[in-house]
Copies of this chain bind each other. A is one copy, B any other.
Amino acid sequence: MLENLAILPPLMGIAGLAAAYFVYRIIMAHDGGEGRVASIADQIHRAAMTFMARELRVITIFTVLIGVLVAYFIGWPTAVAFFAGAICSSAAGLIGMYTATKANVRTAVAAHKHGRDRALSLAFFGGSVMGLTVAAMGLVGIGGLFLLFIVWGVAGGEGDKSAYAIEGFAMGASIVALFYRVGGGIFTKAADVGADLVGKVEAGIPEDDPRNPGVIADNVGDNVGDVAGMGSDIFESYCGSQIATIIIAATMSLTAATGLVTRDMEEEAIRMALMFLPLALTSIGLVCSVLGIMAVRWASKLDPATALRVGTLGAAGLFMIAAFVAVQMLGLSWRVWAAVFIGALGGVIIGSVTEYYTGGKPVRDIGKSSRTGVATVIINGIAVGLESVVVPILTIAGIILASYMFAFEYGVGIAAVGVLATVGITMAIDAYGPVADNAGGIAEMSAMGKETRDITDGLDSVGNTTAAIGKGFAIGAAGLAALTMIKAFMNVVQETHGVRIGEADYIFTLDLGNPIVLSGIFLGGLTAFLNGSITMKAVGGAAFEMIEEIRRQFRDIPGLLEGKAEPDAERCVEIAANGAMKRLIFPAMLAVGMPLLVGFGLGAQALGGMLVGALICCVALALFMANAGGAWDNAKKWIEEDNEGGKGSPAHAATVVGDTVGDPLKDTSGPSMNILINVMAIWSLVIAPLLVPVAGWLQ
């Protein structure tokens, strides 16, 4: 039966792509503006695509190099999966961003000509294409490889062993995520900080003013960082958690596996059902996401926040019901479903906590502390960031314990899949933010007037909250995906090393009483902190180049400040792009190098310890950075709503500093933590069969 069912996920993926194309056609049918509007939009679109093309060139070189090494050392099926992963992830980012940079101007024009409802729909559709493409590309890729390698056995070898090869897919996605997310993050914040510091502070012109040479780059940054970057980040977690769960199903103890089925089945059938479940769930999740997206469209008459909530919660509820049916049909126990439920619930909790810390009382407290100056704004923001770590991490600890109690080691994996199953709509809502933000920028630059700007501001403010929730969600998802990959890593080391030394019942442990594991924990912790430092410095360096260039243009282009001459926006885009490409090399080397160095230099025990140490520090730092940054950003916005003196007051100046400090934290360093832990986890999983538990020289 499963052999026939297994054809469904890739087909669902293709249907999802068709749905995305359908949404894309709807967007394109709307008015794309003309004259100045169209030319600004086109400038953003072309610059974004140029930067992506540049990233893709470098990604291609890296991918071919690594792919050859993978084919040689691991095997050709893994290499094939690796290329597929890189292609699917690149394509999802490209398609999503291409659409977003078409939807932004249409949103602005709709706000101008038809009012809020249509603008909301368009911005949300713009994000939906990204969401649907991420979900669909994952299904096409993983579903296709599952069919090829596991069901049809194209790669040779036993069914469950050939599952390993699918890991390559997540590894390919990880390379793309490194470039898209870290490179995009540096690009966007270099442009943002540079444009703000010179434009708003030195020249005294408003945000998004067309005279500022850095404004186009800033708007491009929103797309490459928050649309394509975020998409590749979520794509990596989405694929990583599914693939790791498949591997856990292939390698978990038979006793535990048998405890999860309701019928009398052969071992192979049990494993097959457990291996197939992640794909079944994400297929269902895609359908629910499409329905959710339609619900948002219908609900667009309500206020934007409610409309988006109806869509997400509706999709999640529907998914839980359908998942229950799917679990029953596959002959699996309700216990498995309970683990999925726990994961999905945990995702909602983490998102809500993020919403509180970046939108609730803590934000007003930071705003009020501006009475005693900048220093107290910064101190309070740091305190809020530190505190915001607590509940999400408690939630993750709860998910680990509870999902294990229900479904043993399979539990954590399938819970992570549960968090991410309705990625189609959660990602859509996430990507809605930058589209709305861009629409506002275009409205300002092309002087569409206060009324239009009010509409786009309203959409943007909702987008800020959804983006913050999305960030919290992405961190939780990345953490759980990494956790699942770490568990799969342990299973693979145990199985392959057991075979190598001829002991079928060999047990690989990561005992904290073992000094090698313990020092691994410390190595992981320092990797996370080092990554934070180098990404912050990268933004600082790139922003500095940007500042110099904007100053130069204000100085050298006569009539620029008076609005009589055009700025050289392209030069700014190029500087941001160069700065980002140059500076992502070090974080990329860290993420890829550490697993290789520790794995081959010290062994699998140290590497396992390192992954766990990095996991806790990455998740905690990512939450701290994202939420402190988000809280500072919104404290500034709160002051701008005429609190504590409003715009132009000393309180405003103090919170502007907070916002600037938070920018690289929340949009570069914080997100890069998700990538770091996921890249390290997937690379470790791929090299696991080559490792010995403890390197010879340490024994």
Binding site for B on A (CB under 8 A): 197, 201, 369, 372-376, 378-380, 382-384, 386-387, 389-390, 393-394, 396-398, 400-401, 404-405, 409, 412, 483, 486-487, 490, 508-513, 515-526, 529-530, 532-534, 536-537, 539-540, 544, 547, 608-609, 612-613, 616-617, 619-620, 624, 657, 660-661, 664-665, 698
Contact = CB atoms under 8 A, between A and B. Distances in A.
Which of A398, A412, A616 has the largest count of B CB atoms less than 10 A from its CB?
A: A616
Contact of A511 (B197, B510, B515): B510
Given A375-B660, A401-B515, A523-B397, A529 B383 contact: no
24 contacts: A374-B374, A375-B657, A375-B661, A378-B661, A379-B536, A383-B532, A383-B533, A394-B526, A397-B519, A397-B522, A397-B526, A400-B515, A400-B518, A404-B515, A409-B515, A483-B518, A487-B513, A509-B512, A510-B513, A521-B612, A521-B616, A525-B616, A529-B620, A613-B616
Which of A380, A404, A483 has the largest count of B CB atoms less than 10 A from its CB?
A: A404
A512 B512 CA distance: 7
A380 B619 CA distance: 22
B379 A533 contact: no
Contacts of A483: 518
Given A397-B519, A511-B511, 16 more contacts: A378-B378, A379-B540, A379-B660, A386-B536, A389-B530, A390-B529, A390-B530, A400-B515, A400-B519, A400-B522, A510-B513, A524-B616, A525-B617, A525-B619, A525-B620, A616-B617
A375 B613 CA distance: 31
Contacts of A522: 393-394, 396-397, 400, 616
A511 B494 CA distance: 14
Contacts of A375: 197, 657, 660-661
Contacts of A539: 379
A664 B382 CA distance: 11
Contacts of A378: 378, 657, 661
Enumerate the 4 nearest inter-chain pairs by beta-carbon distance, A residue then B residue, closest first: A510-B512, A387-B533, A386-B533, A375-B660
A379 B664 contact: yes
Given A394-B523, A526-B393, A376 B515 contact: no
A516 to B, nearest CB: 7
Contacts of A540: 369, 376, 379-380, 383
A375 B180 CA distance: 26
Interface of A, secondary structure class, is helix
Nearest to A384: B533
B397 A547 contact: no
A517 B404 CA distance: 12
Contacts of A382: 536, 661, 665
Given A401-B516, A512-B517, A526 B660 contact: no
A220 B386 CA distance: 29
A383 B512 CA distance: 30
Contacts of A537: 383
A235 B113 CA distance: 72
A394 B530 CA distance: 11
Contacts of A519: 397-398, 400-401
A677 B534 CA distance: 28
A342 to B, nearest CB: 12
Contacts of A393: 522-523, 525-526, 529
Contacts of A511: 509-512
A532 B624 CA distance: 11
A403 to B, nearest CB: 8
A234 B243 CA distance: 48
A490 to B, nearest CB: 5
A529 B389 contact: yes
A512 B609 contact: yes
Which of A201, A379, A540, A660 has the largest count of B CB atoms less than 10 A from its CB?
A: A379
A533 to B, nearest CB: 4
A149 to B, nearest CB: 26
